[in-house]
Amino acid sequence: MIKIKKALVCVDLSDYSKMTMEYALSLTSGIVSQLVLLNVINSRDVEAVKLASHYYPGEINVELFLKETKADRQQRIHEMVKQFPIPEIVQTNILIKEGNPFNEILNTIKEEKIDLVIIGNKGRGNVVGTLLGSIAEKVLRHSPVTVISVRDRAQFVR
């Protein structure tokens, strides 16, 4: 029998994040002992801030941007988590990473020894996803563990 002890919940703080969290808790209730909530600061955003800092050297600071962004996201995820009844026996860990979201998700699966990934079908980069392939789609194709893709039925009505 397969034991799922640790689940990775990918939260990008888009509209899908709350729904992804609801599904994660519903699907893993009584099964997992740890939920790892992952948010990735996209390296594209960091590069844009670095570029802008060259034009406004005294006004824009990349390290400060990262520090403030990490603190803001940590707080927003923490507030989101408080809305859900998570059993006390389930350890919740919030990770904020910087890089390519797809690569960071795969790295986290390996580093944290994740058994199951729960990810929203859509997120922040909807237009880019359409052109380059969504992060969720790439994770589904390349993940070494089972991935559950959360969908909003209202988005797929024909």
pLDDT attached to residue 88: 82
> Quick one: what percent of the chain has pLDDT higher than 90?
59
107: domain CATH number is 3.40.50.620
50-76 tens-digit pLDDT: 998 888 888 888 999 999 999 999 999
When divided into structural domains, the chain yields a total of 1
Residue 1 included in any domain? no
| CB contact burial 7-37 (16+ within 10 A = b; e otherwise) | bbbbbbeeebbeebbebbbeebeeebebbbb
Domain that residue 152 falls in: 6-156
Tell me the pLDDT tens digit for each residue of 135-151: 889 999 999 999 999 98
For the question of whether the overall pTM of this predicted structure is more than 0.85, the answer is: yes
Q: Which of 19-28, 109-118, 128-137 has the lowest mean pLDDT?
A: 128-137
